[in-house]
Amino acid sequence: MPRIGLDARYLRNGGIGRCISALLTAYPKLVRNEEMVILAHPEDLSEIRGRAPTFEVAAVRSRVYSLREHFEIARVVKRLKLDLLHLPHYVVPRGIPCPLVVTVNDLIHCQLPRTRWHSRYCRWMLGQVRAQARLVLTLSKAVARDVEEVAGVEPARIKVIPPAVAEGWTAPSSGPEVEAFLRRLRIELPYVLNVTNGLPHKGLDLLLEALQELPGIRLVLAGQGSDRPEVLRQVEASGLSGSVLVLGALSDRELRLAYASARAVVVASRQEGFGLPALEGMAAGVPVATSDAGGLPEVVGDGAILFRSGSVAELRRALYTVAVELEGGDRAGLIQRGLAQSRKFSWDATARATLAAYERALTSAA
C-alpha cells in the first residue's frame, strides 16, 4: 500500500487548520488502500491520535514559514519512506524526495501583499508549486483561475475541491446553553457577527466605516486573530468601541453558538479564496451579507446578499438589510436558500475527492 503523508503542522492555523481537522475526522472512515502518515508538531500528537488512531503520526519540530522546515521536512519524508506528501498550503519545503499534492487556498499574499517580502515569498513559493506539484488543489474556481494565471500551472494539474462545515455544525443548542454563552462573554442581542483573522484583506476598515452611519447595530468580532492589537486600534480609532465586542479565538462549540445567536453574519473581505464564514453562517441558519470577492459568489450562490467588494456604500446597504430591514417571509426565504446552498458542501465528499486526488497523483507521470 502507498504511504501517504499529510502535513498537519497547520492544525492550529485558522481556516487551513480547520480543513486539516475535518480531513483527520473524515479519513479514518474512508481510507482503505493507503497507509496514512500524519506529520505534526509534538503538542498536537495526542489530539491527532485521538482522531485517527489507526494512522501513523510523526513529530516535526520545525514551524511553518521557518527556515528550518526547508531542511527538516525532506529528512522526515525520506525517513518515513513516503510515496506522496500532501502540503495543505503553497509553502513547499526544499528537497522533498517524493511526489507532491499541494493545496493553494488563495493568492492573497500576491494579490494584496502586506509587505514586499510577502509578495516575493508568495511568488517564489508558487514557482516551487509549479515546478514540483503533480497536482494542485484549490478551494474554488476563482483560485484555480488565479493559480493558472499567476503561478502558470496548467489546468490539467489543477483540481477544485471545496471545503465544508464541520460535522454537527447545525446541531440545535438548548436555550440555557445559549444564555450561558451570551452571559459569560457579555454579548448583547441583537448583533452582527464578523468572523475574521484580523488581517487587512478581511476589510474590517470597510466594515467599521459602514457602521459609523448605522447607529444602533452592534458588531461582534470573533476568530483566531480577531483580537490582534491592530484590530483593537482600528476599533478604538473608529469611535465605535461602545458597539463593537472583540472576542478573539473561540472553541468550535463557542463559535457555533456565536453564529446561531447572531442577527446576521457579514463578510467584508477585499479578497477570499473561499470564505468559510459565509458558508458557516448559512449553515447556522443566519442571514449572510458578503462581498463578491474571489470565491465567495461560488460559496453562497443565491443564499446570501452580495455586495461589491471594496464599496462601503454597498456594504452599508447590505448590512442594514440583513440586520434591520429583513423580516418575515423575506428573512425566512433568505435563510432557507442559505441552508439549501450550504448542504451542497460535504466533508465526506471533500475527503473522498482528496483521496482520489492522491491516487491520481501517484499514478500520473512525474
One-character DSSP codes across 215-252: TT--EEEESTTTT-HHHHHHHHHHT-GGGEEEEE---H
What is the value of pTM for the model shown? 0.93
Residue 320 is predicted with a pLDDT of 96
Mark the ranges of the chain whose per-residue pLDDT is less than 50: none
Q: Between β-strands 288-291 and 219-222, what pairing exists: parallel, antiparallel or unpaired?
A: unpaired
Q: Give tens-digit pLDDT for 73-110.
A: 999 999 999 999 999 999 999 999 999 999 999 999 88
Tell me, yes or no, whether 132 lies in a domain: yes
pLDDT score at 168: 74
User: Which residues have CB under 8 Å from 331's CB, separation 6+?
Assistant: 287
CA triple 105-146-317, angle to 5 deg: 80
pLDDT for position 13: 83
Q: How many domains does the chain have?
A: 2
Q: Is the domain of 206 the same as that of 289?
A: yes
Which pLDDT belongs to residue 33?
85
Residue 170 covered by a domain: no
Tell me: do 12 and 159 sit in the same domain: yes
Q: Among 337, 261, 349, which residue's Cα sits nearest to residue 300?
A: 337
What is 266-304 written as a DSSP string? EE--S--SS-HHHHHHHHTT--EEEE--TTHHHHHTTSS
Would you say residue 210 lies in a domain? yes
* In-domain check, residue 244: yes
State the CATH number of the domain containing residue 110.
3.40.50.2000
The pLDDT of residue 365 is: 62
The boundaries of the domain holding residue 247 are 175-342
Is the CB of residue 44 less than 8 Å from the CB of residue 12?
yes
The verdict on 293 and 209 lying in the same domain is yes
Are residue 228 and residue 99 in the same domain, yes or no? no
Same domain for 152 and 272: no
The reply to whether 98 and 215 lie within a common domain is: no
Q: Does residue 123 sit within a domain?
A: yes
Write down the residue that cell numbers 493558472 correspond to: 148
Same domain, 134 and 207: no
Task: Please tell me the predicted confidence (pLDDT) of residue 114.
Answer: 84
* pLDDT for 64: 87
- Domain contains 169: no
